[in-house]
Structure 1
Amino acid sequence: MLHDTVARCRELGLRRTWALEELLKRLIANSKPQTLADLAEAPELKDRCDKATIFRLLVRLEKHGILRRLGLHDRSAYYTLIEPGEHSDYLICTQCGVIETLDIACPVEALEARISKESGFKKLYHELEFFGVCPKCL
């Protein structure tokens, strides 16, 4: 998966650097969305990359569609890798900001296929986030 993701980055004009590869390895190894702080404190990155470098990489990867940014606007952003042909939907707590992967069949996939068929749009995708209050915050 790392090889494929690096190849996607290169196709989009991103330089292959040690920091880019280590950041991608970290995102691949941990499937849960991670904050800038989570990534910057990772042992693989902590001593060799500063937060500013990691942040710039995250912004570029998001801009090029390699990463998805999640979270509430007034809280820390969480980043997760986008895998071509796959997606995850999320539950986000408006009280504490916890983010969980929605573990049910995506309710929008059939609608997406119908929209694609009827509109003629190709390579259609969606990002689905539900906001509410988690059980711990109730």
Structure 2
Amino acid sequence: MGEYERSRTMPAQPEQVFDQAANLGQLDAWLPEALHVDAEDPPAVTVHEDRSGEDTPALLRAQRDQMRLEWGTREQGDYAGWLQVSGIGSGASEVTVHLSFFDAGHDPGEQAVCDALDGSLRRLEEQVRMRVENASG
């Protein structure tokens, strides 16, 4: 079983960060580039992976009162993850993403996962910055 976690500080209130992360219509803007979520009937979603061409039934739940997203595969139980937003004062937030691979065959390895998480957090921060700038301008 592989467990991975990365964090990033973002220059926005936790509610702004969470609302951007949980926006089903804009998930593709910050998720790893090879993953696409079709959220026809939340919490049930379908995740398409470009690399394999496979569609995987999954669940995605947003808990705004806890500033938390949780997701995972629906049928196989091979994979799960969460994103947590925490306020750290001075109008900033910390976002932590955690991934668990319960089947070693689905774990792409530490370097690939950490690179994907860092890239996703960087893209999420860019989306949050654009949202905050547009709201204040």
Q: Same fold (TM over 0.5)?
A: no
Kindly indicate which of the two structures has a greater share of residues assigned to strand: 2
Query: With CA pairs under 8 Å and 6+ residues apart, which has the higher RCO, 1 or 2?
Result: 2
Q: Normalising TM by the smaller chain, what interval?
A: under 0.3
When the two structures are superposed, what TM-score results if normalisation uses the length of structure 1?
0.27
When the two structures are superposed, what TM-score results if normalisation uses the length of structure 2?
0.27
